[in-house]
Homo-oligomer: A and B are copies of this chain.
Amino acid sequence: MSAKDLGISVLGADARVQIRSDSDIVVARQKGRAMATASSFAPAEATLIATAISELARNIVLYAKTGEVILKIVDNGNRHGIKIIAADEGPGIADLDRAMQLGYSTSGSLGLGLPGVKRLMDEFEIVSAPGKGTRVTVLKWRT
């Protein structure tokens, strides 16, 4: 589903952050916070957004090594939102249901990342196939 199908238009330029190492995680989440703050998101919302970006970008570093985070300010006619796309061409996820389970982790970490990000955001979509990479798209509306 593209932004156009939803009647959402993109405001301003996208930000793209290449993710290659743990310092790029910080760059991506700080960029997301700055964009959210510039679009008048409340501080608590901006922190939620930065935290979600941090989780998604870390999954790229951990599981796919490299990828990118794309950030867009969007508008659906009556409100603003921020859209975050975390995309990689890594190994992909074979069992998506399981990956979304609380506490499930293939790396021995907490396994709270994906279900937690879903809880933090208003919309959540994940597309992944083994060998084809992973693309997580999330959206948070400004309240």
Contacts and interface: CB of A to CB of B under 8 A. Distances in A.
Interface of A: 108-109, 115, 118-120
A119 B108 contact: yes
Interface of A is mostly: helix
Contacts of A109: 119
A115 B108 contact: yes
A90 B12 CA distance: 33
5 contacts: A108-B115, A108-B118, A108-B119, A108-B120, A109-B119
Contacts of A115: 108
Contacts of A119: 108-109
A111 to B, nearest CB: 10
